[in-house]
Amino acid sequence: MEPIADKKRAIFESMLELVKEKGFHGTPMSMVAKRAGVAAGTIYHYFDSKEKLICELYHYIQQQVIEIVKHEDCTDISFKECFFNLWYALFTYYTEKPSILRFFEQFVNSPYNTNKDEFGKDEFHRLLFRFFERGIKEGHLRPVSPKILGTLAHSNIISTVKIQASGRLTLQDGELEQIPLILWDGMRNR
């Protein structure tokens, strides 16, 4: 990850917050510019178009998530430990940056997401699936496609973040810890 120009980062942050608050529509470039503290024209010095800006932002963020997976997927400790570490690392990341989760969710279901990146071809999914493949190979997890396990696990994390973030429900003592356990108990080989 090479360093990013200050202005570029400011534009990214601005877009991120506005998308969280108002969605893709509802955030005109003029507003992005204003909050970023630059002129409208400046954005077009860095990005070809609104669409490009959004796509680049997506990849920029995804890179951060990839770093987390890489960091937690090590062979020094047992698979089970890795599994729980990864669960909590991603949970914490999304929880601390609610605008990112919201942006993601909007992006993947939007026409900006010209997902020609076949599923499992982008680096995040490749890493995720490789991790679960290891779990299967080592006999910890059910012999189901790692793509299934990976997808289910990730959606489990995201749901948990959403439950908590919405404030709909305050998790009782020890309830949060139950959730990765539920996931593990379901997926583990028996």
DSSP 8-class letter at 188:
B
CA distance 103 to 55: 11
C-alpha distance across the termini of the chain, in Å? 41
Q: What size, in residues, is the chain?
A: 190
CB of 58 to DNA, least distance (A): 16
Show contacts with DNA in window 5-44 (CB under 7 A).
Answer: 5, 7, 25-30, 37-42, 44
Dihedral of alpha carbons 165, 102, 180, 155, sign: positive
155 contacts a second copy (rule: CB under 8 A): yes
CB of 138 to DNA, least distance (A): 48
Task: Report the residue number, 21 or 67, with the smaller CB distance to a second copy.
Answer: 21
Region of 2-10, 41-49, 75-83, 118-126 interacting with a second copy (CB under 8 A): 118-126
Residue choice 13, 17, 35, 50 for contact with DNA (CB under 7 A): 50
Task: Report the residue number, 52 or 130, with the smaller CB distance to DNA.
Answer: 52
Task: Report the residue number, 39 or 148, with the smaller CB distance to DNA.
Answer: 39
CA distance 178 to 45: 49
SS3 track for 122-167:
CHHHHHHHHHHHHHHHCCCECCCCHHHHHHHHHHHHHHHHHHHHCC
String marking each residue 46-85 x if it binds a second copy according to CB under 8 A: ----------------------------------------
118 contacts a second copy (rule: CB under 8 A): yes
Half-sphere exposure of residue 87, counting CA atoms within 13 Å on the CB side? 24
156 contacts a second copy (rule: CB under 8 A): yes
